């Protein structure tokens, strides 16, 4: 019978340095949380009718596509200015999920 390999902590996932410091980890998680809040806000801006200004640039399918870029940038600026607090909640949740940083340099 073949046994499954042991599960690794979230912080050892693809693209994450094996020797990530606690400060680097916090910065990475804070950035990820900010990205999630920005995406959420961009969707909410669209649902709230921010696209109602369509036609200001000539209208058409191209404007519909590019208006999503404008919403995303506006949402990023909102997060940079303090956001709605969602990023902080996500950040704290990610910290709890990942658990303590394990220093593997001694292995």
For the CA atoms of 39, 82, 76, 78, what is the dihedral angle to 10 degrees?
100
At 106, the pLDDT band (50, 70, 90 cuts) reads: very low
For residue range 15-43, list pLDDT tens digits in order. Answer: 555 577 888 889 999 999 999 999 999 99
Distances in Å between the Cα of 77 and the Cα atoms of 70, 87, 100, 106 are 11, 13, 31, 41
Under DSSP, is residue 18 helix (H, G, I), strand (E, B) or coil?
coil
* pLDDT score of 47 more than 70: yes
Best-predicted range by mean pLDDT among 3-7, 30-34, 46-50?
30-34
Percent residues over pLDDT 90 in the chain: 37
Residues 55 and 63: beta-carbon distance below 8 Å: yes
Domain boundaries, the chain: 22-98
How far, CA to CA in Å, does 17 sit from each of 2, 4, 22, 99, 101? 29, 23, 12, 16, 12
| pLDDT of 61 strictly over 80 | no
User: Lowest-confidence range among 45-49, 52-56, 58-62, 86-90?
Assistant: 52-56
């Amino acid at each position: 019978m073949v046994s499954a390999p042991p599960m690794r902590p979230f912080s050892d996932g693809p693209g994450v340095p094996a020797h990530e410091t606690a400060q680097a980890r916090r910065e990475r998680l804070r950035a990820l949380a900010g990205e999630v809040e920005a995406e959420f806000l961009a969707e909410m801006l669209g649902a709230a009718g921010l696209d109602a200004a369509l036609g200001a640039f000539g209208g058409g399918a191209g404007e519909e596509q590019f208006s999503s870029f404008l919403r995303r940038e506006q949402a990023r600026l909102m997060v940079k200015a303090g956001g709605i607090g969602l990023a902080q909640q996500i950040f704290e949740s990610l910290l709890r999920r990942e658990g303590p940083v394990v220093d593997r340099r001694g292995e």
